[in-house]
């Protein structure tokens, strides 16, 4: 496992999550031009035309699920995705800056094709800072009335999966791919509820 991801997983596993709920949902935001071009993105990056379509498809799939709370990152790409999905559920999303993607500082606007999670970008977050922030944000999100839908980012998903003790699976990383997390006793598992034929893209 290359580019610092093993270190991210190690840090997240050292701060395990133990939600009181027995199931919840997660949705990575729809695709952006930054995803397609593989560049580090600012918080105001909008969804692309494809991303809007993906969000609408995710909303259709999630409309029949018994979701009580929609909690999202306040980054535009996540909040716009959450608003689309929440409308189909008759909910109003709750926005939190703590659920934002990692702050890559001076790297924003540059290529993320060789993303190294262990990097220490000037003016940005270190990996330990990011994992600690994200773990706390996820714990707070999952304390909302269940079942909860979290709409956030690829980095969130990496931390979430590792903190729950689930083996990493590239098939769950796609943009706007609704995921169902369920617990049997102390053991968590994740499964996709929808596969976009368009596929995923760079995470940052």
**Is 78 part of any domain?**
yes
Residue 204 has pLDDT above 80, yes or no: no
**Is 201 part of any domain?**
no
Structure confidence at residue 197 (pLDDT) = 56
**Is 118 part of any domain?**
yes
Q: What is the span of the domain harbouring residue 106?
A: 5-192
**For residue range 95-126, what is the model confidence (pLDDT) as tens digits?**
999 999 999 999 999 999 999 999 999 999 99
> What SS3 class is residue 147?
coil
**Is 204 part of any domain?**
no
In this structure, what CATH number is given to the domain that contains residue 159?
3.40.50.1240
| CA 54 from centroid of its chain's CA atoms | 15
Average pLDDT over residues 130-135: 98
Residue 73 has pLDDT above 80, yes or no: yes
**Is 151 part of any domain?**
yes
Residue 201 has pLDDT above 50, yes or no: no
The total number of structural domains in the chain stands at 1
Residue holding tokens 């169902």?
Answer: 180
Structure confidence at residue 168 (pLDDT) = 81
**For residue range 169-187, what is the model confidence (pLDDT) as tens digits?**
888 999 999 999 999 999 9
Structure confidence at residue 57 (pLDDT) = 97
Structure confidence at residue 200 (pLDDT) = 46
**Is 197 part of any domain?**
no
**Is 47 part of any domain?**
yes
Average pLDDT over residues 140-152: 98
**Which letter, b or e, does each residue of 170-194 get, where b requires 16 or more Cβ atoms within 10 Å of its Cβ?**
eebbbbbbbbbbeeeeeebebeeeb
Contact 81, 58 (CB under 8 A): yes
Q: What is the dihedral of CA 192, 167, 74, 180, to 10 degrees?
A: 30
> What SS3 class is residue 28?
strand
């Amino acid at each position: 496992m290359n580019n610092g991801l093993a270190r991210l997983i190690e840090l997240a596993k050292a701060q395990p999550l133990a939600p009181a709920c027995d199931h919840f949902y997660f949705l990575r935001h729809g695709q952006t031009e930054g995803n397609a071009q593989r560049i580090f993105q600012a918080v105001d990056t909008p969804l692309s035309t494809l991303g809007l379509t993906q969000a609408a498809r995710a909303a259709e799939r999630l409309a029949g699920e018994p979701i009580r709370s929609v909690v999202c990152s306040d980054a535009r790409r996540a909040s716009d995705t959450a608003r689309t999905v929440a409308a189909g559920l008759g909910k109003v999303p709750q926005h939190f800056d703590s659920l934002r993607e990692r702050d890559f500082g001076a790297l924003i606007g540059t290529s993320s094709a060789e993303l190294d999670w262990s990097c220490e970008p000037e003016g940005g977050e270190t990996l330990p800072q990011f994992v600690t922030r994200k773990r706390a944000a996820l714990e707070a999100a999952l304390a909302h009335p269940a079942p909860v839908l979290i709409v956030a980012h690829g980095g969130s998903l990496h931390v979430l999966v590792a903190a729950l003790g689930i083996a990493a699976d590239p098939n769950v990383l796609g943009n706007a791919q609704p995921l169902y997390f369920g617990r049997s006793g102390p053991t968590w598992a994740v499964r996709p509820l929808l596969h976009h034929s368009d596929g995923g893209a760079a995470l940052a």
